[in-house]
Chains A and B, each alone.
Chain A
Amino acid sequence: MSFLKVSDLEVEFRVDKNTVKPIEKVSFEMNEGEVLGMVGETGSGKSLTAHAIMGLSSLVGGKIRGSVKFEERELLSLAEKEMQSIRGSQIALIPQNPMTSLDPVYRVGDQIVEGLYKHVKISKRKAKLQVLDLMEKLRIPKPDRVFQQYPHQLSGGLKQRIVIAMGLCTNPRLLIADEPTTALDVTVQAQIMRLFKEMTVDKGIGLFLITHDLGVIAQVCDKVAVMYAGNMVEFGKIETLFNTPRHPYTKALLECIPYIGMKKGTLNAISGSVPSTATYPSGCRYHPRCPHSEPQCENEMPPFINIEEDTQVACHLYQEKKG
């Protein structure tokens, strides 16, 4: 039984009279308790994918198509009411910016309790105790004091932990974390990532981690999905992807990571820029920037094919491996 199976997910907008598909052909699979990373540049459709999986069409703003199977249930065909009972209790989302993801007019403790109280039958007092316990596990200093404070009184790292607590308090089966550490200092980042790993592995929670930081991916993920311009270009196990990247974009991305001992002044970058949603190139969307570009790439969108067990890539350079 697959835990989360996303196939051919796409989002369609209408801009004036044109239809625009900011994400298209996104397919991946995730097992229970796994950590799946999604990397890609800004604007490649990572957050949109997260919102589409949760069926948050009002945030997506367009039509969501394809299929999202979560524990054998098709989420995209559920009614909004049913979806509301899944959101937060089965699948939780930690939004992108912790600095602004808390409601400024409520005490943070009450905000965490609100989510718990909605989904779990529990008394207010018990909910508070449970939340304080969770806050302590997340190494929030003086949890009962922080519980009484307003968001603006807390530091970024603390806010991030509060947001994580909001996501974790209902014991979801799947946690989607949208760039949970980008707003934080590197030192806090490492702490938070460690916390994430602990909390999810301990409880067997599946973690879907969105980031543009390959370092974070390398630290915590089991599988990686690489997004480029709204398409998924490569999907595979972490070791495979880091050791033998297949797609030219993945290769280029890995080459961009600076390392100690590299020659000074040789910071690598991918030439060209990310196309905007309205001007996606024909065929393979990476072809204008790709060193291996061939005429075929310009005309034909490469299919997403299996080339090894658990490794898929969308590139004309590779042939499907049968069996």
Chain B
Amino acid sequence: MDENNVSEHKHKPPWLVILKRLFTNKMGVIGTILILCLILVAIFGPLLEPYSYKEQNIEIMNQPPSSGHLLGTDDFGRDVLSRIIRGARISFVVGVLSVAISVLIGVVIGSIAGFYGGVIDLILTTIADLTWSMPAILIALLFVAIIGAGLESVVLAIGLSYWAQYARLIRGQILSLKSAVFIEATKSMGASDFVILFKHLLPNSISPVIVAATIGIGNAIVLEATLGFLGMGAQPPSPSWGAMMSNGTAYLFISPWMIIFPGLAMMITVLGFNLFGDSLIDIMDVKNKEYL
């Protein structure tokens, strides 16, 4: 073998290509930066908080933003900034975990439905369609009502409310892919159903799911806030952005900072995930010319 031939055409590793493409996309850069900020805040939260998130001080309650308390204080005199920072951790963890649960359930159910077809498909798709036709908040509320309020049950409830969209997505992909010639080739090489489904069909159909999941994290964070707003989420004193806003409604005209800043934090976070997800769509394409 001629050594020159080998080195003449070096392949860039795929992750480098993905990074490169991400940074040529303005929206992608903004999304990435916003998500990175959220992750950093979630990890290093306790170090960044100027005050304790749960320390109450009635003497300074409902104070507007000042140099002492940058984003003001709430009705118990707690520092809003510190609580938002601590709340980032909850939002992030709930968002990622619950989407992981939805994707896992959705991918397994959707790929089995698409791959085996027939009655199995009919049953699974019907279940997915039924779940999909009910508002996610309703399903989540139902689950929380059954397993009780709290962070774990919120994660589980959100996970169980959103899986149908991933199931439908992956089912469609698998349906169109399973008659591809390369699947015929794989079968004729003696591959088992398991290998065909999980080694060949899934990797080929997963990219739209990754995009949907990224945007789904944003949705899950909103749903978590909604549940928190209804008092079903993380229990006090742990600060969920939704619960903080719910708490702030009573003081909307006295101390609007209690509701504005958690809302802003949430908006920026969701925006970050949406921008990132959108830019992923063109980055995830394997056939992209950057690979050549």
- Residue contact B286 to A87, C-beta cutoff 8 Å: no
A150: CB under 8 A from chain B? yes
- Residue contact B187 to A56, C-beta cutoff 8 Å: yes
A95: CB under 8 A from chain B? yes
- Residue contact B200 to A59, C-beta cutoff 8 Å: no
CB distance from B291 to the nearest CB of A (A): 7
Contacting residues, chain A, for B184 (C-beta < 8 A): 56, 59, 93, 95, 101
- Among the listed stretches A10-18, A37-45, A102-110, which one makes contact with chain B, having 4 or more residues with CB under 8 Å of it? A102-110
Contact pick for A144, options B6, B187, B204, B287, CB 8 Å: B6
What is the chain A residue whose CB lies nearest that of B201?
A103
- Residue contact A93 to B286, C-beta cutoff 8 Å: no
CB distance from B285 to the nearest CB of A (A): 10
A121: CB under 8 A from chain B? no
Question: Interface code B119-153, partner A: CB below 8 Å = 1, 0 otherwise?
Answer: 00000000000000000000000000000000000
What is the chain B residue whose CB lies nearest that of A102?
B182
Contact residues of B between 1 and 32, Cβ < 8 Å to A: 1-2, 5-6, 8-9, 11
Contacting residues, chain B, for A106 (C-beta < 8 A): 203
Contacting residues, chain B, for A65 (C-beta < 8 A): none
B192: CB under 8 A from chain A? yes
Given contacts A96-B181, A144-B6, A150-B291, contact A89 B190 (CB under 8 A): yes
- Residue contact B182 to A100, C-beta cutoff 8 Å: yes
What is the chain A residue whose CB lies nearest that of B189?
A88
Contacting residues, chain A, for B203 (C-beta < 8 A): 105-106
Contacting residues, chain B, for A322 (C-beta < 8 A): none
Task: Please give the number of chain A residues whose Cβ is less than 8 angstroms from any Cβ of chain B in the complex.
Answer: 38
B40: CB under 8 A from chain A? no
- Residue contact A166 to B185, C-beta cutoff 8 Å: yes
CB distance from A72 to the nearest CB of B (A): 20
A142: CB under 8 A from chain B? yes
- Residue contact B188 to A93, C-beta cutoff 8 Å: yes
CB distance from B124 to the nearest CB of A (A): 18
In whole angstroms, how far apart are the Cα atoms of A163 and B5 in the complex?
Answer: 23
B180: CB under 8 A from chain A? yes
B292: CB under 8 A from chain A? yes
In whole angstroms, how far apart are the Cα atoms of A144 and B9 in the complex?
Answer: 11
B191: CB under 8 A from chain A? yes
- Residue contact B190 to A100, C-beta cutoff 8 Å: no
- Residue contact B9 to A145, C-beta cutoff 8 Å: yes
In whole angstroms, how far apart are the Cα atoms of A44 and B186 in the complex?
Answer: 24
In whole angstroms, how far apart are the Cα atoms of A88 and B2 in the complex?
Answer: 32
Given contacts A95-B184, A104-B287, contact A86 B6 (CB under 8 A): no
- Residue contact A142 to B189, C-beta cutoff 8 Å: no
Interface residues on B, range: 20 to 34
- Residue contact A97 to B181, C-beta cutoff 8 Å: yes
A85: CB under 8 A from chain B? yes
- Residue contact A100 to B180, C-beta cutoff 8 Å: yes
Contacting residues, chain B, for A101 (C-beta < 8 A): 181-182, 184-185
- Residue contact A104 to B286, C-beta cutoff 8 Å: yes
In whole angstroms, how far apart are the Cα atoms of A93 and B191 in the complex?
Answer: 13
CB distance from B121 to the nearest CB of A (A): 14
Contacting residues, chain B, for A134 (C-beta < 8 A): none
In whole angstroms, how far apart are the Cα atoms of A166 and B191 in the complex?
Answer: 13
CB distance from A101 to the nearest CB of B (A): 4
Contacting residues, chain B, for A289 (C-beta < 8 A): none
- Residue contact B190 to A86, C-beta cutoff 8 Å: yes
- Residue contact B182 to A118, C-beta cutoff 8 Å: no
A58: CB under 8 A from chain B? yes
Given contacts A144-B1, A145-B9, A150-B291, contact A56 B188 (CB under 8 A): yes
- Residue contact A104 to B190, C-beta cutoff 8 Å: no
With a 10 A CB-CB cut-off, give which of B9, B11, B185, B291 has the most chain A CB atoms.
Answer: B185
- Residue contact B187 to A119, C-beta cutoff 8 Å: no
Contacting residues, chain B, for A97 (C-beta < 8 A): 181
What is the chain B residue whose CB lies nearest that of A142?
B5
Question: Interface code A130-160, partner B: CB below 8 Å = 1, 0 otherwise?
Answer: 0000000000001111001010110000000
Given contacts A102-B182, A144-B6, contact A84 B191 (CB under 8 A): yes
Show the binding face of B for A, using Cβ within 8 Å.
Answer: 1-2, 5-6, 8-9, 11, 180-182, 184-192, 200, 203-204, 286-287, 291-292
Show the binding face of A for B, using Cβ within 8 Å.
Answer: 54, 56, 58-59, 81, 83-89, 92-93, 95-97, 100-106, 114-115, 118-119, 142-145, 148, 150, 152-153, 163, 166
19 contacts between A and B (CB under 8 A): A56-B184, A56-B188, A84-B190, A84-B191, A85-B190, A87-B187, A87-B189, A88-B189, A101-B184, A102-B185, A103-B182, A103-B186, A103-B200, A105-B204, A118-B190, A118-B191, A145-B5, A150-B291, A152-B291
Given contact pairs A142-B2, A145-B6, enumerate 16 new A-B contacts (beta carbons under 8 Å). A59-B187, A84-B190, A87-B188, A88-B189, A88-B190, A93-B184, A93-B185, A96-B181, A105-B203, A115-B189, A142-B5, A144-B5, A145-B8, A148-B11, A150-B286, A153-B291
